[in-house]
Each structure stands twice: as C-alpha cells, then as structure tokens.
A and B are shown apart, each in its own frame.
Chain A
Amino acid sequence: AQKITQTQPGMFVQEKEAVTLDCTYDTSDQSYGLFWYKQPSSGEMIFLIYQGSYDEQNATEGRYSLNFQKARKSANLVISASQLGDSAMYFCAMRRPSGGYNKLIFGAGTRLAVHP
C-alpha cells in the first residue's frame, strides 16, 4: 500500500537559518510524483514544489529545494533562509497512478515554527 510518513510533528528554526523537513514514502509504482504543500493557519493548501520519480535533478523553487533520494524513498524539503512567514504546517504528498487524475496521498504533516 502507498504511504507517506512525516516523522517530525513539530520543528523549530531560527529566522534566516535553513531547515529540513523529512518525508519518506512507500510505493511499488515506478512512476509517481511527490509534492510539498504549505498550510498556514488560514487553512488553504499552498503548492510549494514538485519532484517526478524520473527527474534526475533535485527540484528547486526559490528558497525551497527537494532532497530526493529515490533508493531510500525519501523526499525531504529544505527551506533556506527561513522567514517568520514560513511558520505553518507542511505536508508531503504523493500522486498515485490515477488514469489522468491528481489523486494525492498526504502525510500527517510537520508544524514549523520560525523564531525571530
């Protein structure tokens, strides 16, 4: 069965420092996609970054990068130069093979607190 595991319920980081949020996944599929979403206290889910299973390079989007280690089935999110506005819940998600749908399996999330 496909599963996403986020082992860090909460993380603290000092403003301007980098932080890594862990994500491991379990799937027997060869083709899949991995996403990270941010959920502020207002509730909406904000897309951050995507990594395809066949992508050879780690994805980057501004201050966000994804440390993709396929053999270890891990897709950790790295946030560089943390800002106070980065305080939120972060969810790792995997797209299941879906015949054209974007059906996602989510982890339980990590709450990040950025301190001044």
Chain B
Amino acid sequence: DGGITQSPKYLFRKEGQNVTLSCEQNLNHDAMYWYRQDPGQGLRLIYYSQIVNDFQKGDIAEGYSVSREKKESFPLTVTSAQKNPTAFYLCASSTRLAGEGNTEAFFGQGTRLTVV
C-alpha cells in the first residue's frame, strides 16, 4: 500500500538532547513537508522540500533541521535550540503542482514528541 510512514509514534526526549523524527513515503511524490501541531491549534509549516538535497524554511523553522538525501525520505531533527518542542509532528507529501488544481497533501500518522 502506498502511503507515508512516520516513526516513532511516541517519542520522549530529555531537555538539551537532539532527536530525529523519521518520515518515509512510497507515493513517488516530489514534495515533502513537516508541520507542527499544538493542542487546540492548526498546523504550522516547519520545513519543506521539492527535490533531493534542496529544502526551504517554513514559518517556524527555528530550532529544527532537515535533510533530503533520498526522494522517499525527509527526516526532521528537533534540536536543543527549540525552546518548546513538545508537540505533535506531521509529515506530508504531494505531487509537484503544475498550476491550479486539486493536488492534496497526504499526511502520515504523526509523531507525538514529549520533552521530559
């Protein structure tokens, strides 16, 4: 089955530690995205990437880093510089838009990160 796999589902981190969230897709999508969701709020864009070895900062990139060494994979590292990392993290992918049209983003199941 095609889809997006995020792992782990739950992650606990001690303050001051870096942690990496995994995101893999087998949909052959060019674009991948990381979003953060806080309780009672919508999603906010952290980073996005359209091709291998290229990625762009989203609205809340501070304290996060990403890599795109393979088309299928877009891991997110939450660094110790992120002041409030406890949140729900969602990875998404989509086809590259040729213009106006319905090309929805497909989402993974999410990773819930808790700093202890």
Which residues of A are interface residues toward B (Cβ below 8 A)?
Answer: 4, 9, 31, 33, 35, 37, 42-47, 50, 52-54, 91, 93, 98, 100-104, 106-109
Q: Answer whether residue B110 sits at the interface, using C-beta atoms and an 8 A cutoff.
A: yes
State whether B31 touches A102 (Cβ < 8 A).
Answer: yes
Number of interface residues of B (CB under 8 A): 31
Interface string of B42-67 (1 = CB under 8 A from A): 11110010100000001000000000
Q: How far, in whole Å, are A54 and B88 apart by their CA atoms in the complex?
A: 34
Number of A-B contacts (CB under 8 A): 78
Q: Which residues of A contact B2 (CB under 8 A)?
A: none
SS of A interface (majority):
loop
Assess A45 versus B42: contact at CB under 8 Å? Given A50-B102, A54-B100, A98-B97: no
Q: How far, in whole Å, are A102 and B33 apart by their CA atoms in the complex?
A: 9
State whether A91 touches B42 (Cβ < 8 A).
Answer: yes
Q: How far, in whole Å, are A54 and B41 apart by their CA atoms in the complex?
A: 29
In the assembled complex, how far is the CB of residue B109 from the closest CB belonging to chain A, in whole angstroms? 5
Assess A103 versus B110: contact at CB under 8 Å? Given A31-B100, A43-B88, A52-B101: no
State whether B43 touches A108 (Cβ < 8 A).
Answer: no
What are the 5 tightest A-B residue pairs by CB atom distance, in nearest-first order?
Answer: A106-B42, A45-B107, A102-B94, A50-B102, A43-B110
A and B contact pairs by CB, cutoff 8 A, 9 listed? A47-B106, A50-B102, A52-B101, A52-B102, A101-B94, A102-B97, A102-B104, A103-B58, A106-B35
Q: Which residues of A contact B96 (CB under 8 A)?
A: 100-101
6 further contact pairs, Cβ within 8 A, besides A37-B107, A91-B43, A103-B33: A33-B101, A43-B88, A43-B109, A47-B105, A52-B101, A102-B104
Q: Which residues of B contact A104 (CB under 8 A)?
A: 43, 45, 105
Q: How far, in whole Å, are A106 and B97 apart by their CA atoms in the complex?
A: 19
In the assembled complex, how far is the CB of residue B1 from the closest CB belonging to chain A, in whole angstroms? 14
